[in-house]
Amino acid sequence: MLLHFGQLVEEIKPVTFPRWSFGGWKSLCIIFSIAAWLELTVWAGAETMLADGAERWFWATFFFFLLLPPFWILFFRFGWVFAFFRSVQVGIINLCLIGLGSILGVLFHQEDPSFPIPRGGVERLADWEEPSFPSPWPVESRIAYRNFLDFRSAHAFSGWHMASAVGLRGWIGLPPGTADLDAMVAERVGILDQRLPELHERFGEEFAVALRTKSETGLRARERNREIRELESLHNDFWWSLFVWSSRFDLIRVYRSEWFAAFWAILFFGVLSNTFRGGWRRLLRPAKWGFVLTHTGILMVVVGGFHGRLTEMRGILELHVDESRGYFQQWDGREAFFKDPSADGLDTSFLVRLDAFRADYHDVLEVLYLKQKAEGGGKFEFPLDRQPRARVFEGLERSYDWGIDSSGARVPFFKVKVEKFLPQAKAEPTLTPVAWDDPSGIPLAWLAWEGESGLEEQVEVLPGRLGDPGTSHAESGTRIRYRLVEGAEQAKSLLASLPIRRIGVLAGFGEDGRQVSLDAAPGAVGDFFADGRPFKVRIVSGRPDVELVPDGAGGRREVVQSVPIDMAPLRNPGIRIEVKSPSGELADRWVLEDEFQNEGVRFPELKLNFHWDLWSAPARSKLTIFRYRDESTWIGEQGSPESLRELQAGELVALGRSSEFSLREAMGPTKVDLDFQPLPSADFFNPAPAAAIVRVETPNQDQVITLSAEPGSPFQESQFRYVGPDGEDRWVVLVL
C-alpha cells in the first residue's frame, strides 16, 4: 500500500513480459519454422493468384489457414511474441543464420537477376529430350538452360581449384599429377627460349620478358580451361542434379528467397523490440541518443533492402541521342512503363532522355616485321599470337632492332615517335597523278548515282587497288569495282574469271596457335581451336544487313528480312554459325563484322572474326570498270567477256529498277596526300577516324608519315625497308 495525496492506494506494478525460456535448439527450430511458414505462405498466395475456378478456392482456403496460427499468437499471446524477439539467444542464432545464408549465396552460383528463371522453367527443361518437347525451345527453357550453363561452369571451376589444392584430382576423374603438363610447358617454352635472344634484341627486354611469362601462364591457363571443360562434360548429370535441387531450395537465388527474407525480418523486429524494451520515454534522454541512432540506422537498412527487393525494376532501355522514352524492355521481352509509386493512374510518370553519348576508342600502333614469301606477299617474321603493339598517345616513343652501330655504341636501328595524335580527324585530300608503276599510286574513279526521280545524286569515290572489293548498289543488286589493266586482253581475262563462292571469311586460330580462315558459305564446315580443344564450326546463314533483337532469354534472335540477300544493303554484315564442342555440345552464335562489344556466348574461349566479301557475295549483276594504259575507260559484266565496251565520262549506265549511274571521272595511279584536321566536338556517332603524325628513324633516313585508323584507308599502314644490325634487309609495316 502507498500513501498518495493523503489516501491509501494499491501499489502500481509495471507491465512486464515473460522472458524467453527456450534453449538454443528450440530457438533454432522456431526460426526455421518461421522461415518454412513464410515459404509456404508465399507459395500458397502465388498459387491463389494463378489458379482459376474451384482450384483457386482450394488454394485460397489453404492460404487462409496458414495465416490463422500467427495471427492467433499475435492477438492472444503477444507477450510470447515480444519475449521471442527480445531474446538474446534468438538474436545470436538468427545473426548466425544470416551469415550462413550469405555464405551459401557465395558458394552457390546465383542466377542472373536480369534473367531470372521463370516459373516451371527448370522442370520443363528436364524433358528436352522427349519427342514432344517443342522446337525451338520455349523462352523459359532457354533461360533455365542459360543459367544452368553458368552454374555448371562456375562450380566446375571451383571444383577444379579445390581438388587441385587438396590433392584430390584423381577422385574427380583428372590425372593425379601435373607432370605431363610441366613437361609440355617446358618443351614449348624451350622452343621459345631459342628465339628469345633475337626477340630481346628486336623488341627490347620488356617485351621479351613479358612474352615468356605470358606464354608459360597462357599454356597453363589453356590446360586448366581444358580440364575444367572436361569436368563439365564428365560430371554433367551431377551438375544438373545439383542445379535442380539448388533451384528447389532457392540456393541459386539466396538473396531473393523467402527464407532469407525471414531471417532479416526477425532481425528487424528484434532490433525494434529491443529499442523500446524500457519504454519510449527513456529514449528522449541525451545519453540514449546514440543507442537510438544506431538502432534506427539498422532498421532503415533492413527496410531499404526489403523495399529494393519488392520494387526492383530491371530491363533494357535503348535510346538514341535526343530521344526520350517512358518504357523499357523486361527480361521476358515484354515492355514495361517507368512508374512512380505515388503517381496512381498514370501509364508513364517520367521519361528518360539521352542528351549526349561519347565512347573513346583506344587506338593502338602495331609494328609488324615481315619476311618475303617465295610465291609473293609476306608473312610474319615472328609468328606470335599478337604482334607488338602500343596504345597511341602524343609523345609515344618506341625503339626496335637493337644492335651495334659503326661507332661501337648499342643503338636502336628503328625508332618510332608519335609527334601528334588526333583522336578524331577530318581529312582533306590532295591528288597528284604518278607513274603507272609507282607503288604509292592508287587508281581512283568517281561514280554518280541517280535514283528513280533522277534529282538526288550521290557521288562515290571508288579505289581500284587489287584488294579493293568495290561498292554495292542495293536497289538494283549490283556490285561495281574499278581496275587498272594493260588493255582489252587482260580486261577480258578478268571478266572471264569467276569469284570464289562465299559470302565472307571466318577467321580463328588453328591447332598450332596460328590464324586460320574458312571461306564462309552456307553449309561450309571448318575446325578451329581454343585452349587446345578442337571446335567444329558450320556456317548456317549470313546477310549483309543482319538485325538482332533480344530474344527474352539473354540472347539475340534475327529479325527476318523481306529483302533478298543479293539486294540487301551493306549495313551490318554477319553470319550465323553452329559450334560443336569436343564433348558434342551444340551452340548457335552470331559473328558480326562490326561487333561493338562481346556478348555472353557459349564457349567464350573460342574467338572468331568475320569479314564480308562484297564482291564474292551473291548479287544480281557484277560490273567492272577498266582503265587502260592508253587512258581509255571500258566496262563489262563479270562472267561475260563479250560484254566489254567503252565507257565515256558522263555516260549513263542502267542498273535496273529505274536506277542508273554515270562515270564522272577515272584516274590512273594517283598519289593521295591527306591533311588531317582535328574534330574536337565529334562523338561516338561521328565516323571520323583517328590520325597520327609519326616520325620514323632508321640508319639511312628520318621520315615523317601520317597514319589514319580508318579501315581500308591507304593511310592505315606504311611500309619501310632498312638494313638491320646483322646486315640483313628488314621489312616493317606500321599499322594504326
Of 227-236, 399-408, 566-575, 681-690, the one with minimum mean pLDDT is 681-690
Q: Is residue 276 part of a domain?
A: yes
Q: What pLDDT sits at residue 348?
A: 60
Per-residue model confidence as pLDDT tens digits over 428-475: 777 888 888 777 788 888 888 875 544 456 778 888 877 778 888 888
Q: Identify the pLDDT of residue 340.
A: 61
Query: Do 522 and 406 share a domain, yes or no?
Result: no
By residue range, what is the domain housing residue 58?
24-108+251-310
Q: Which residue has the cell 527453357?
A: 141
The last residue of a domain, from among 557, 586, 612: 612
User: Mean pLDDT, to the nearest integer, of 68-84?
Assistant: 83
Q: 113-120: long-range contacts at Cβ-Cβ below 8 A with a sequence spacing of 24 or more?
A: 113/256, 113/314, 114/314, 114/315, 114/331, 114/554, 115/143, 115/146, 115/147, 115/331, 115/553, 115/554, 116/143, 116/253, 116/256, 116/331, 117/143, 117/144, 117/147, 117/247, 118/143, 118/144, 118/332
Which pLDDT band, with edges at 50, 70 and 90, does 152 fall under? very high
DSSP string, 461-524: EEE--TT---EEETTTTEEEEEEE-SSHHHHHHHHHSPPPS-SEEEEEE-TTS-EEEEEE-TT-
Whether residues 292 and 393 share a domain: the answer is no
The three-class DSSP label of residue 591 is strand
Same-domain pairing of 345 and 376 = no
pTM score, whole prediction = 0.68
Q: Which bin fits 90, alpha (ψ -120 to 50), beta or left (φ > 0)?
A: alpha
Q: 165-169, 262-266, 328-332: which range is least confident on average?
A: 328-332
CA-based torsion, 326, 329, 332, 333: positive or negative: positive
Coil, helix or strand at residue 152: helix
Residue ending a domain, choose from 198, 229, 248: 248
The contacts of residue 436 (CB under 8 Å, 6+ apart) are 484, 629, 668, 669
Cβ count near 368 (within 10 Å): 18
Q: Determine what percent of the chain is predicted with pLDDT higher than 70.
A: 88
Q: What DSSP element (H or E) covers 55?
A: helix 53-76
What's 444's DSSP letter?
E
- Res. 13: pLDDT tops 70: no
The average pLDDT across 36-59 equals 86
Residues 125 and 237 in one domain: yes
Residue 530 pLDDT exceeds 50: yes
pLDDT band (50, 70, 90) for residue 601: confident
Joined together, the cell numbers standing for residue 77 give: 499471446
- Cβ-contact 641, 633 below 8 angstroms: no
Which of residues 248, 266, 286 is at a domain's end?
248
Q: Is residue 148 part of a domain?
A: yes
pLDDT higher than 60, residue 642: yes
What would the pLDDT profile of 576-591 be if each residue is shown by its tens digit?
Answer: 999 988 878 888 888 8
- Helix, strand or coil for residue 95? helix
Whether 461 maps to a domain, the answer reads no
CB 424 within 8 A of CB 686: yes
Please report whether residue 368 resides in a domain. yes
Could you tell me the three cell numbers for 294? 544506431
> Tell me, what amino acid is at 290?
G
| Residue 66: inside a domain | yes
Over residues 87-97, the pLDDT tens digits come to: 888 888 888 99
CA nearest to 97, candidates 20, 21, 32: 32
Q: Residues with Cβ < 8 Å from 540, sequence gap 6 or more?
A: 522, 575, 576, 577, 578, 588
- Segment 179-229, tens digit of pLDDT: 777 787 888 788 777 878 888 888 888 888 888 888 888 888 888 888 888
Same domain, 125 and 219: yes
Instruction: Enumerate residues 6+ apart whose C-beta is below 8 A from 549.
Output: 556, 557, 559
Grid cell, residue 257, equals 528467397
Grid cell for residue 470: 568495290
Residue 318 has a pLDDT of 82
Name the phi and psi angles at 389, rounded to 5: -145, 160
pLDDT at 100: 92
Residue 639, C-alpha cell as written in the block:
562472267
Confirm if 324 and 348 have CB atoms less than 8 A apart.
Answer: no
My answer on whether 135 and 236 are in the same domain is yes
Mean of the pLDDT values across residues 107-112? 89
Residue 107: predicted pLDDT = 92
DSSP track, 185-231: HHHHHHHHHHHHHHHHHHH-HHHHHHHHHHHHHHHHHHHHHHHHHHH
- Within a domain: 161: yes
Containing 305, the helix (H) or strand (E) segment is helix 289-310
Q: Is the pLDDT of residue 45 over 70?
A: yes
Q: Classify residue 650 as left (phi > 0), alpha (psi -120 to 50) or beta.
A: left
Query: What is the side-by-side strand order in the sheet with 504-509?
Result: 515-520, 504-509, 609-612
- Pairing between strand 335-337 and 471-473? unpaired
Site of grid cell 585508323: 709
Whether residue 258 sits in one domain with residue 238 = no
Is 154 found in the same domain as 47?
no
Tell me: do 168 and 267 sit in the same domain: no
87 and 140 inside one domain: no
401 within domain boundaries: yes
Asked whether residue 2 carries a pLDDT value surpassing 60, the answer given is no
444/462 Cα distance (integer angstroms): 6
Per residue in 251-292, pLDDT (tens digit) is: 998 888 889 988 998 888 888 888 877 777 777 778 778 877
Question: 579 with 599, same domain?
Answer: yes
Query: 628 Cβ partners below 8 Å, 6+ apart?
Result: 485, 486, 487, 488, 491, 634
Q: What is the pLDDT of residues 363-392, one digit of tens each?
A: 888 888 888 776 556 677 777 777 888 888
Q: Are residues 377 and 350 in the same domain?
A: no
**Is residue 113 domain-resident?**
no
Number of domains in the chain: 5
Confidence of residue 597 (pLDDT cuts 50, 70, 90): very low
pLDDT bucket at 537, cuts 50 / 70 / 90 = very high
Query: Of 189-193, 258-262, 566-570, 704-708, where does the model show the most confidence?
Result: 258-262
**C-alpha closest to that of 160 among 245, 234, 100:** 234
Calculate mean pLDDT across residues 697-725: 78
pLDDT at 310 over 60: yes
Return the pLDDT at 343.
Answer: 55
Averaged pLDDT of the chain = 81
